[in-house]
Structure 1
Amino acid sequence: MANNAIPRDFLKNVLQNGMGRYVCQLQRITFRFCKSHPGSRHMRDFIENHLLDFTQKNPGVVVYLQPRRHRPPSIVAEFLNGRRESMEMMRKEPQEICKWAEYMRGRSGVQIVNMIHNNHTETPSTQGIWHPFMFRDSETAVAKFPDPKYSAVRETGKTATDYVLEEFNNKE
């Protein structure tokens, strides 16, 4: 696997967010709409009915409303790392606009990159994919535990507590 599979910005910024306190990475969000065009009807409905709830839940996010004549509605999100993302909201219902605003609020601002490499081989691995239960008996999948067949108590008559007490007494 290549060393550049995970972006360094991701490891440096995203994984450290939450160590200590959570800092919302969305700095400001702009809702662009037209006051008269029918294509912005749902965005205007969102602004009238749902925007106040969004702003009360997220006091650290600056919200702008930008009316633009004869342009499709959109959301522009600006993050703390300087990135800007915009999404067209044409023909999206107010509930869907709420979901996209929450999506932008929850994002880290790091660019989404495809981490799947286009590697292909004509001879795939004959070993198969390993998993923790690979060499276990398949009967354990349907067994009701505790089952005396798979219990260590069956063989020796001792429980784990007995083993611990025995080791403790032997050391003294």
Structure 2
Amino acid sequence: MSNSHLFLKSTFVNAPLQNGVGRYVCQLQRVTLKFCKNHGASRGMRDFIESDLVNYAKENPATVVYLKPRRHRGATIVAEYLNGEKQHVDCRNLEGDVISKWLHLLKTQSGNHEHVRFRKMWHTEHPSIQGPWTPYTFREPALNLVEFPSAEQSRPAQLPQTATDRLLEIFKEQQALNKQPRIEDLEANRAK
């Protein structure tokens, strides 16, 4: 196991500006699509621009989309977030549908891309006064005094009677009360 986590800044997980409490604010501010008009590695980006870019812009009115043609370079996406962070995605030789998936991923991220060590897996502004639930919360207190292995604890639990078993019991009780002859006995008497 590595000790590199000791040198990372430690923090809690927080949504930016309490995002989602009142209303959702998309953190993606600006997307720049860089591509070459002739380069073969930019073919997927050009296909995306021709077919899906208008739909993407209509679906995401809060995000500004820039197109930046560059000569003899591969395609890239530069995403800029409200907190000032930038993220670059290399799109060389990617298809148009893969580029749309990358844009969807960039849209749903918060923009916090620095490496941090989390102090807890969860964080809340108003912690519970009852404490967290554990598998031992509602255990029988008598189990604290039992010495294991215990014969009583090893015995299988008595299962409740099923409905099928109960119906069979009722049927046998009715047969015993009525003492009706069985069909085989009647057929044997007729043969005699």
Structure 1 length as normaliser, TM-score?
A: 0.63
Return the match for 2:101 from 81, 99, 102: 99
Return the match for 2:11 from 1, 6, 12: 6
One-letter code aligned to 2:58: Q
Return the match for 1:24 from 9, 23, 26: 26
Alignment-derived partner of residue 122 in structure 2: none
Identical counterparts, % of pairs: 42
Q: Which runs of 5 or more structure 1 residues have no equivalent in the other structure?
A: 118-129, 141-146, 150-172
Larger radius of gyration: 2
Return the match for 2:66 from 47, 64, 67: 64
Deviations 1:21-59 (A, max 9, x none): 110000000000000111111100010011111111100
Alignment-derived partner of residue 89 in structure 1: 91
CA RMSD in angstroms, aligned pairs only: 3.4
Return the match for 1:37 from 36, 39, 47: 39
How many residues align? The count is: 127
Alignment-derived partner of residue 153 in structure 1: none
Determine the C-alpha separation between the residues in 2 that align with 1:46 and 1:38: 14
Q: Which runs of 5 or more structure 2 residues have no equivalent in the other structure?
A: 1-5, 120-132, 141-152, 162-192
After the TM superposition, which segments of 4 or more aligned residues of structure 1 sit over 2 Å from their partners?
A: 4-7, 112-117, 130-137
Alignment-derived partner of residue 55 in structure 2: 53
In 2 relative to 1, CA 133–89 (structure 1 residues): closer, same or farther, beyond 3 Å? farther
- Checking the alignment, whether the CA contact within 8 Å between 2:11 and 2:116 is kept in structure 1 is no
Alignment-derived partner of residue 108 in structure 1: 110
- Checking the alignment, whether the CA contact within 8 Å between 2:27 and 2:82 is kept in structure 1 is yes
Q: CA deviation at 1:12?
A: 5.9
Secondary structure (helix, strand or coil) at the match of 2:113 reads coil
Structure 2 length as normaliser, TM-score?
A: 0.57
Determine the C-alpha separation between the residues in 2 that align with 1:32 and 1:75: 6
